[in-house]
Amino acid sequence: MISIGFCSYSYHSKPFYSSSGLNDYLFRLQTEGTCHIHAKGQNINIQKGDLLLLRPGEYYEIKIGEGQKSGDFFVFCKGSWIDEWWGRSNKPTVSRINLDEKVLALWRFIIIEERRPQTEENKELKDHLMKALCLSLERAVNETSAITERPPVVTRMMRFIEEHALRAFKIEEVAQHVELSVSRAVHLFKEYVGKTMIEYAQEIRLTSAKDQMKYTVLPLEQIAENCGFGSYTYFHKLFKKKYGKSPGVYRRKE
């Protein structure tokens, strides 16, 4: 099980200072304003979107100066699963990540669960939520780290398409979401993803269709509609091209 020491949201509009040696892992995500952090011998100016990751035994100091405002989500945690997760890849001290609402929602969910009376707490649920938060943060760091060639704006387009693929969205919506012209958005996406936005959406739709074919008894026509293909004929054509067999044949063999 994962032990959560303290998980909350903090906002400061007045000068603030705190320092300590850490007994737990610390995850801290700046969501508003700025602050100054001293960690691992570095003085770091933290800005909106910066994720701080520290492990037990490290020294941590935070300072919010006169005129500064600072808001952040944070969690102190420990456990064997966290140890294993931390050790399997490099964890940069500070990473600039996108403020994904899904990550923030996970953090809020954990905060709510932590506030429940002991008689109402569900340790298994909190354990799974913390694992989901760790894995989501890890993916966010990997997607926005210096070692990746993919610009953050392309990742944002991918996330938008993944969220809306099962409906008939327009390319203009994707471009508007990332505040780019349609031509620029289309060019960047193809350059860094290696396929068009529609091709990317079709892969997601086909994967979803396969799951519904395997785990439900819905008619194939209904599955085609549920997954955003518009018509069964179009779904049939794309499915056979991708998997070498018709949806009906595929379903009977599963």
* 36, 62 Cβ separation under 8 angstroms: yes
pLDDT of residue 232: 92
pLDDT digits (tens, 9 = 90+) for 34-74: 999 999 888 999 999 999 999 999 999 999 998 899 999 99
Cβ atoms within 10 Å of 154's Cβ, excluding its own: 20
Q: How many helices (H) and strands (E) does the chain have?
A: 10, 9
Q: With beta carbons less than 8 A apart as the criterion, state whether 234 and 195 touch.
A: no
Q: What is the pLDDT of residues 196-241, one digit of tens each?
A: 999 999 999 999 999 998 888 999 999 999 999 989 999 999 999 9
Higher pLDDT, 156 or 149: 156
Predicted confidence at residue 102, as pLDDT, reads 86
CA–CA distance from 251 to each of 68, 161, 221, 242 (Å)? 60, 26, 13, 15
Say if residues 9 and 71 touch (Cβ distance below 8 Å): yes
Confidence at residue 53, expressed as pLDDT on a 0 to 100 scale: 96
What pLDDT score was predicted for residue 100? Answer: 81
CA angle 241, 244, 245 (to 5 degrees): 105
Kindly indicate the confidence band of residue 145, based on its pLDDT and cuts at 50, 70 and 90.
Answer: low
Q: Which of 91, 17, 20, 88 is nearest to 54 (CA)?
A: 91
Domains, the chain, ranges and CATH?
3-144 (2.60.120.280), 152-198 (1.10.10.60), 200-253 (1.10.10.60)
Q: What is the pLDDT of residue 116?
A: 85
Q: By C-alpha distance, which of 203, 196, 204 is closest to 171?
A: 196
What single-letter amino acid sits at 238?
Answer: L
Residue 159 has pLDDT above 80, yes or no: yes
The reported pLDDT for the residue numbered 148 is: 56
Terminal C-alpha separation, the chain: 36
For residue 62, what are the β-bridge partners?
A: 18, 37
Average pLDDT, the chain: 91
Give the span between the Cα atoms of 9 and 143, in whole angstroms: 24
Q: What is the pLDDT of residues 6-16, one digit of tens each?
A: 999 999 999 99
Cβ-based burial of 45 (10 A; exposed 0-12, middle 13-18, buried ≥19): exposed
Q: Given a cut of 60, is residue 160 above it in pLDDT?
A: yes
- How far CA 116 is from CA of 6, 112, 215, 220, in Å, comes to 13, 7, 35, 44
Residue 146 has pLDDT above 80, yes or no: no
List the structure tokens of 57.
């035994």
Q: Decide if pLDDT at 152 tops 90.
A: no
Structure tokens at 154: 């392309």
By residue count, the chain amounts to 254
Full strand arrangement of the beta sheet holding 70-78: 3-12, 70-78, 25-33, 50-54, 94-96
Asked if residue 147 has pLDDT above 50, the reply is no
Q: What is the pLDDT of residue 209?
A: 92
**pLDDT tens digits along 107-138:** 999 999 988 887 788 889 999 999 999 999 99
